[in-house]
Structure 1
Amino acid sequence: MNKTVVKTMEILKLFIDHERLTLQEMVELLQMPKTSVYRMAQSLVELGFLHKTNDYYQLGLTLLSFGMLVAERLDLRQIALPIMQQLKEDTKEAVNLVIRDGDEAIYIEKVDTSEPVRVYTKVGRRAPLYAGACPRILLTFMERDEQQRYIDRVQLVKIAKNTIVQRDTLRDRIEQDRKRQYTVSYSELEDYSAAIAVPIFNHEGKAAAGLSVAGPEHRFSPEAIERMVPMLKQAAQQISTQLGFSRKG
């Protein structure tokens, strides 16, 4: 690789862990000659990749523009599909991907199970955010103020035999699920169906989507859930990472 490009990248990488640095601090961290660091830093300032205020350098707005373009052009479905296919192989259950659309969740991708008994779901299906594991995971990780406003105004309608229709019950369930980082539902959107869901986070650390495995209730025993949750979380983490999510950030 081109040495100048590599060294330039090393300078930029310093600002992953440091909000701002002086020239001397960069020199000490990189263990490079001061004149070389100065020339590269000044070039990065001229290009807008770094910004200098008094004696301090920090990341410039050009990088923000590039980052926003990358985030906008990432195709969630394209990233998620191969991971979903592998999750289906691992769990033997259907896998669904949902995103929020106002006060509803919309199913944007699915991978059907090969099992003869399955739960019917189709791309384009909509569901209220309070009902079912996959829609409710979006509500669970919504910003707190917005979440509270939603719960206060939404009409909780019974869709299936176990749909949550009490606000206090919904709040309690959300708190429990937020702590354990996943949610489970039994017969909330469709009788005798079950699902487990986890959040997918974007580059801003916000829940951008929900990922679930779903099937008939009899295949979702406590033992089965304990087995599938780590697989589901790992798959969601893979997708989140490709969307730019970093737990450190």
Structure 2
Amino acid sequence: MNQSVMKALNLLNFFTVETPELTLREIASKAGIPKPTAYRLLTSLESGDFLYKTKETEHDSKYRLGLKLLELGQIVADQLEVRTIAFPYMQQLAQEINEVIHLVIVNQNEATYIEKVDSSRALRLNTRVGKSSPLYAGSGPKMLLANMPQDQQRDILAADTLYRNNQPINKQQLLEQLEKIRENRYAYSVGEQDADTTGISYPVYDYRDKVIAALAVSGLSSHFEEENLEWIKEKSKQTAEAISRKLGYRGPDF
């Protein structure tokens, strides 16, 4: 990581419950750097709302932690909460349908898998906790992309050519898929991340009725046919709704 960025971020560590406010002089002293250098780093943090200046005089300035840290902290808290709440429901669903269950979230314009429960079948999928993938590849990522604000969605799809499995994607068809996902409230994919596999995903809502994750079920395509497909869809939908209700969702039934 860029050394200037690291130096700036390290300054945040000097703020504690006991010392929520620090002067420029105090920060420079704690960091062991000249005041002009400290001031430059603090100004960068201030411009990003990581700090705000409470007082400024000719000889010194005072700083407190900014609201951007509260915003980021809430995002982390929400992610931890949904993972903790979802996990036992995912385990129960895996026992019932014996397929691989994932929990997927948006992370820096990509889809990141934050939880996984395996099936007892000998099935190897190209997924793991912490893995990221494009938001237009797989049922879980597409569920998240479909429920993004349109401006953010446009930014992600702005490239002239999008690729999935090294093949170009028809962007118009993708946009039509996303519209259908929003209408049907579930996503379906075949072979988009792993050959001969099918994925089905349902949205996970929070107390603001906002989609914050996707519950994704994956397995061999031969298991996702006819009556078994409808059974998997119903069980997955019920599980996603149960998780959402636990998170405070008060919207209509799935």
TM-score tier, shorter chain, comes to 0.5 to 0.7
Partner of 1:228: 232
User: Which of 58, 75, 86 is equivalent to 2:81?
Assistant: 75
User: Which of 237, 240, 248 is equivalent to 2:241?
Assistant: 237
- The answer for unaligned runs of 5 or more in structure 1 is 1-67
Counterpart contact for 2:126–2:193, Cα < 8 Å: no
Distance across 2 between alignment mates of 1:164 and 1:114 = 34
Report the RMSD for the aligned CA atoms in angstroms.
2.5
Cα offset, 1:118, TM superposition = 4.5
Cα offset, 1:144, TM superposition = 2.7
2:216 corresponds to 1:212? yes
The residue type paired with residue 122 of structure 1 is R
Partner of 1:141: 147
Partner of 1:11: none
Counterpart contact for 1:198–1:210, Cα < 8 Å: yes
Distance across 1 between alignment mates of 2:181 and 2:94 = 23
Counterpart contact for 1:184–1:195, Cα < 8 Å: yes
Counterpart contact for 1:96–1:111, Cα < 8 Å: yes
2:120 corresponds to 1:114? yes
Cα offset, 1:109, TM superposition = 0.4
Partner of 1:16: none
Distance across 1 between alignment mates of 2:168 and 2:98 = 28
Q: Secondary structure at the match of 1:116?
A: coil
Distance across 1 between alignment mates of 2:88 and 2:145 = 26
Tell me how many residue pairs correspond in the alignment: 180
Counterpart contact for 1:119–1:216, Cα < 8 Å: no
Partner of 2:174: 170
Task: Assess, with a 3 A threshold, how the Cα gap between structure 1 residues 120 and 145 changes in structure 2: closer, same or farther.
Answer: closer
Aligned runs of 1:1-249 on 2, under 5 Å? 72=77, 75-153=81-159, 155-159=161-165, 165-247=169-251
Sequence identity of aligned pairs in percent? 34
Counterpart contact for 1:140–1:175, Cα < 8 Å: yes
Counterpart contact for 2:102–2:217, Cα < 8 Å: yes
Q: Secondary structure at the match of 1:203?
A: coil
Counterpart contact for 2:161–2:168, Cα < 8 Å: no
Distance across 1 between alignment mates of 2:143 and 2:173 = 15
Distance across 1 between alignment mates of 2:136 and 2:203 = 15
With normalisation by structure 2, the TM-score equals 0.64
Cα offset, 1:84, TM superposition = 0.1
**CA displacement 1:19-38 (0-9 Å, x = unmatched):** xxxxxxxxxxxxxxxxxxxx
- The answer for unaligned runs of 5 or more in structure 2 is 1-72
